Structure 1
Amino acid sequence: MISRDLHEVLMVLYEAGGSRVPASEIGWTSEMAPALNRALNMQYITHRETRAGRLFSLTEAGYTAIERQPPQYMSISRAFRSLFRFGGGSPE
């Protein structure tokens, strides 16, 4: 079980689309900053800088923390990672 404020931050991102959501489209408030930093540190969410701005996404751990199913593409990428990790390929 995660704290209420952390759950709220993750749910706001989930409700905004969950994956590759522009920062401008996420309804986070300044009071959510500590929970947002905790979510980034705990790797529940990730962000990427693009030409269009910063994009946020839930990770598999983030979906699990809010008891939601991750999108199918995450399962496919996990399968590919496991093939390379255990199939003698490079772990990087």
Structure 2
Amino acid sequence: MVADDLHEVLLILYNAGASRVPASDVEWSTQMAPALNRAFSMQYIIYRDTSRGRRFSLTESGYLAIGKEPPNYMSISRMFRSMLGLER
């Protein structure tokens, strides 16, 4: 179980689409900064800077932290990383 503030941050991203969500579509407030930092440091959320701007995504552990089932492609990706010896 994650803290309420962290859970809220993850749910906001999940409700915004969970994967490759444009920064402008995510409704995080400035008061959520500590929880966001924790989400990034715990690798529940990742971001990528693209030519279209910053995009946020939940990781597999982010889905699990809020009790949601990760998409199937995440399991396939994990299987390939494991087979190639790239698992951490």
- TM-score, length-scaled by structure 2: 0.95
- Measure, in 1, the Cα distance between the counterparts of 2:17 and 2:72: 14
Letter in 2 for 1:76: I
Identity %: 63
Q: For each residue in 1:18-69, what CA deviation from the matched residue of structure 2 results, as whole angstroms up to 9, or x when unmatched?
A: 0010010011111111100110011000000011111000001100100000
Give 1 or 2 for the bigger CA radius of gyration.
Answer: 1
Counterpart of 2:15? 15
Moved over 4 A (4+): none
- Structure 1 gap ranges (5+): 86-90
Q: 1:76: Cα distance to partner?
A: 0.9
Residue 3 (1) aligns with residue 8 (2): no
Per-residue displacement from partner, 1:61-84 (whole Å, max 9, x unpaired)? 100100000011101101111111
Give the Cα–Cα distance (whole angstroms) in 1 for the partners of residues 41 and 78 of structure 2.
Answer: 21
Report the TM-score when normalising by structure 1.
0.91
- Give the RMSD, CA atoms, in angstroms: 1.1
Number of aligned residue pairs: 87
**Quick one: which amino acid aligns to residue 27 of structure 1?**
E
* Mapped partners of 1:6, 1:63: distance in 2: 12
